[in-house]
Structure 1
Amino acid sequence: MTKSSRPPRRGLRTALALAGAAALTITTATTGLATPDTTEANAGDMAVAQLAPGEISKSKNIKHLANLPIPDVLAGGYGTDLAFQDDLAFIGSYNGFWVVDVSKPSKPKIVSTVLCPGGQADITVDGDLLFLSVDAPRTDDSCSSQASNAADPTAWEGMRIFDISDVRNPRYVAAVQTDCGSHTHTLVPGTGKNKKNVYLYVSSYGPRDTFPNCQPPHDSISIVEVPVKQPHKAKVVAKPDLFAADGGGYTNTSGCHDITAYPEKKIAAGACMGDGIILDIKDPVKPKVVERVRDTENFAFWHSATFSQDADKVVFTDELGGGGAATCLDTIPDTKGANAIYDLSKKNKLSFTSYFKIPRDQGTTENCVAHNGSLVPVKGKDIMVQAWYQGGLSVWDFTKSNQPEEFAYFERGPISEERLILGGAWSTYYYNGHIYSSDITEGLDVLKIDDKRTKPAEKVKMDTLNVQTQPKYKTKGR
């Protein structure tokens, strides 16, 4: 099969209309909780009848604790990625971001919201700083900017930096423009003499001759250096070409979608359109590609990557249809729009093992494909919780890389039975004993899994979690 064509940079998610741009606005509030009607199935029986709009189905080992709707000030802005720090969840939105107190997971409370439109707002946190990606061209870098056009040489895209020392009143402190904007970014801690800095690996894609700030070929990432004590001095310090032809025989790509770093192992895994790569990041300013794989038969769009606990496996995801298509149908093979599990040798060589896709067919009006997830930290096991848009969320085990298996799930019925409306779980992560899921239209879901396979993870506590900066978990035994 010929690999499907790559979506343009201004694809479905970034092309969808944003709510009207406005000046930086911060609010504090609390919001009531809602729990829709629910049907349950045994964890081992994943065959689910077609659900009605608003109806919930889940395995018996999952409990839906709470739902917190998207705040009114961010209305019209889809919910996107998540980061965590000190029992706070930071949630990206096409219209900015919001902060939620999850110290009592069953009773999450909104702490603040920031109205600052600019695309999907990939988000990370580090101490007193919050980083926000902007991948939609704006008239300038301010929160009051208007939507612009990538063909305009004065259009701005890149990274925004906020001071969150007072989470009730985040302050916008710096902006850094990057080539082709910032679709996603990955936080990489500094080392040695640069230990006081953090680095942002900015991934972007879709160059065109008509885009002055995004010219082809675009085989590079932008590396932004941020002095944590002087974030206003943040700047681009490198633009490494990850696919240089010399030495490796690599051919041009059009950019990377996402990179996951494993700082303790000094490696990173990148999903770069048509390629899965492993990077040596011993020097964070000079990452080097040491391995590269392709799957032209089944992968349409390499989207993201997750290491196993011991970095002896990598899960790459394929976002077939760009997240806006119904690809979890019985007419589409389980090898497409799925995860691909690769074994990773000590010499950083990748070897394909198997595919995993949720075993629950969805309807033709439900956008569904593999998306963002994280490890569930259990010693000796490789378990992942993952978002599948309107396919809901899945908890699955890939300890045996050739025998992946789902053993828990949660999903809603379609937004509409008549037409496909973009929705569902964008990012689903495990943090301090609970599952948190950012739903595109429904806000923040909080869930609890009660299963012997994940029980040890409840004892693992993290202060900060940026999933694409993968930690070495201090896992517990049974």
Structure 2
Amino acid sequence: MALTTVAATLIATELPAAACGEDDKPAVQAKHTAGDPGAIKGVRAVGNVPDAAGAISANFLQYGHRDVMVVSGEFGLKVYDLTRNPAAPKAIGQLSLPGLWETEDTEVDAKRKLVFLSRDPRAFEGNTHTGESGIYVVDVSRPEKPTILSYVRVPAGHTTSCVDGCRYLWTGGPAKADDQPADWGGRPIWVTDVRDPRHPVVHPDPIELARNDGQTDYVHDVQVDSAGVAWVSGRGGVRGYWTSGLHRDPVRGGVHRATALAPIPYAGGGVDETAAPSKFLHNSFHPVGPREAGAWRGHDLVYATEENFLDGCAGDGVLTISSLAGSYNGEGWRSTPTDPFRLQSIGTWSVAGQEGSDPASDDCSAHYFDLRDHVLVQSFYSQGTRFLDVSDPTNPRQIAYFRPADASSWAPYWHDGYVYVADNVRGVDVLKLTA
């Protein structure tokens, strides 16, 4: 296996010990009851990659007929070939960056074969008050030898997402640094131009301000839908933006050209507190067109995860499904504490008390999910990976689950008929839905 190790001078810092995440669990967090055998139904485990222990995120790249999986975690990157046997990924390459923090939702440029790896300020024993954050641009054109093309400091660094065809990156989170405005509740988005990946350019002025009823707050992640709208999740809800093309601007008025630096609002806003009491939306998905929306085409919906950790399971974060109706005229951008705007919640699903759950666990928050046709697969940390039929989004229904006793499920991915689960303790589980 090719191994690239970054010199200590590149990654080392002299910062205080890391504090645990304000809205994210620490990376290692398997919580299971002694003697608990786990629970599995409607799904078959066909493979496991234990040497990917610490896995947080995964991506899939094609090199001609070759199918490759890139896994990120606090170790850096590990690369696996799936071509011959997708149930038994073969390790072929590694970029060692021990000491990263989580690397949630690492994204790739499939055309240029680039990985954009976030450096959270808590990485390398840093902290949210004074730690350094930034982006590593990694070349995986030769998957056996991932190589850092560049590193750039960015005032945010919890997650980094591609927008406008990966010509730009939007980077947000976590909690604000000591040198950032005192009235911020968390870090918004900074935009980085990566058209020249060897020389990224960070725009100095942040965007997606005043997202929480007028207050600038924690942006957690960004997902781009198949129409090109970038959906920004964080404290205060989910808001969608055009990043290219000519569009009506419901906030400024008139028709303008959207860019990654000057995006145009599409729809969205805060989610009803009865569905998401914490107001902290972690990630989202916006179905576009009949194939993604299914029988609910014509109903503009947004799926989102509330990440929230309370004592016991009943109050932990849920999957929320909301209607975007009534939010197309900038209502979510004019919301204030005295005149709040909220999306109408049409459905929710929580793992607490569901079949297959460990009643002794107090770790039940929702996390990343992936949707194919009408089956949504979602991670729930130590409560494992759950498969939901969402053909009726007003009534999500569990059809299968995979909860090994040592589960620490962070993110599942549909890929060529399999589900690959990034599990922070187990590595990567390869599952086949049989329900």
TM-score by length of 1: 0.69
Q: Identity percentage over the alignment?
A: 22
Asked whether the equivalents of residues 33 and 360 of structure 2 are also in contact (C-alpha less than 8 Å), the reply is no
CA offsets 1:107-126 (integer angstroms, 9 cap, x no match): 21111222213211231121
The residue that corresponds to 1:169 in the other structure is 145
Distance 1:239 1:384, change over 3 A: farther
Query: Which of 417, 425, 429 is equivalent to 1:445?
Result: 429
| CA drift at 1:345 | 4.2
| CA drift at 1:130 | 0.9
| CA drift at 1:412 | 1.1
User: 1:400-419 maps to which residues of 2 (within 5 A)?
Assistant: 400-413=392-405, 415=406
Distance 1:432 1:309, change over 3 A: farther
The residue identity in structure 2 corresponding to 1:400 is: D
User: 1:129-168 maps to which residues of 2 (within 5 A)?
Assistant: 129-137=114-122, 146-152=124-130, 155-168=131-144
The residue that corresponds to 1:281 in the other structure is 243
Query: Which of 10, 32, 43 is equivalent to 1:62?
Result: 43
Pair 1:304-2:283 in alignment? yes
CA offsets 1:148-201 (integer angstroms, 9 cap, x no match): 34544xx4211111111111111111112111x3111211234xxxxxx62111
Distance 1:14 1:134, change over 3 A: farther
Pair 1:237-2:217 in alignment? no
The residue that corresponds to 1:224 in the other structure is 192
CA offsets 1:5-62 (integer angstroms, 9 cap, x no match): xxx8843857669xxxxxxxxxxxxxxxxxxxxxxxxxxxxxxxx9765734211x31
The residue that corresponds to 1:354 in the other structure is 347
Secondary structure, counterpart of 2:125 in structure 1: coil
Return the alpha-carbon distance in structure 1 between the equivalents of residues 174 and 21 of structure 2.
10
CA offsets 1:409-452 (integer angstroms, 9 cap, x no match): 11112x4xxxxxxx61100110111100011111010011134x
RMSD of aligned residue pairs (Cα, Å):
3.0
The residue that corresponds to 1:341 in the other structure is 321
| CA drift at 1:102 | 2.0
The residue identity in structure 2 corresponding to 1:270 is: V
Return the alpha-carbon distance in structure 2 between the equivalents of residues 385 and 16 of structure 1.
21
Please, which moves more after superposition, 338-347 or 156-165?
A: 338-347
The residue identity in structure 1 corresponding to 2:160 is: H
Pair 1:84-2:60 in alignment? yes
Query: Which of 155, 163, 167 is equivalent to 1:198?
Result: 167
The residue that corresponds to 2:108 in the other structure is 125
| CA drift at 1:64 | 0.4
Distance 1:352 1:221, change over 3 A: same
Please, which moves more after superposition, 429-438 or 305-314?
A: 305-314
Aligned length: 363
Structure 2 unaligned blocks of 5 or more: 1-18, 245-258, 294-299, 330-342
| CA drift at 1:257 | 0.8
Pair 1:272-2:234 in alignment? yes
The residue that corresponds to 1:398 in the other structure is 390
The residue identity in structure 2 corresponding to 1:11 is: E
| CA drift at 1:363 | 3.3
User: 1:168-187 maps to which residues of 2 (within 5 A)?
Assistant: 168-179=144-155, 181-187=156-162
| CA drift at 1:98 | 1.0
Query: Which of 349, 363, 367 is equivalent to 2:359?
Result: 363
Return the alpha-carbon distance in structure 2 between the equivalents of residues 276 and 13 of structure 1.
18
The residue that corresponds to 2:270 in the other structure is 293
Asked whether the equivalents of residues 201 and 223 of structure 1 are also in contact (C-alpha less than 8 Å), the reply is yes
The residue identity in structure 2 corresponding to 1:408 is: A
TM-score by length of 2: 0.75
The residue that corresponds to 1:212 in the other structure is 179
Structure 1 unaligned blocks of 5 or more: 1-7, 18-49, 139-145, 191-196, 416-422, 452-478
Asked whether the equivalents of residues 78 and 93 of structure 2 are also in contact (C-alpha less than 8 Å), the reply is yes
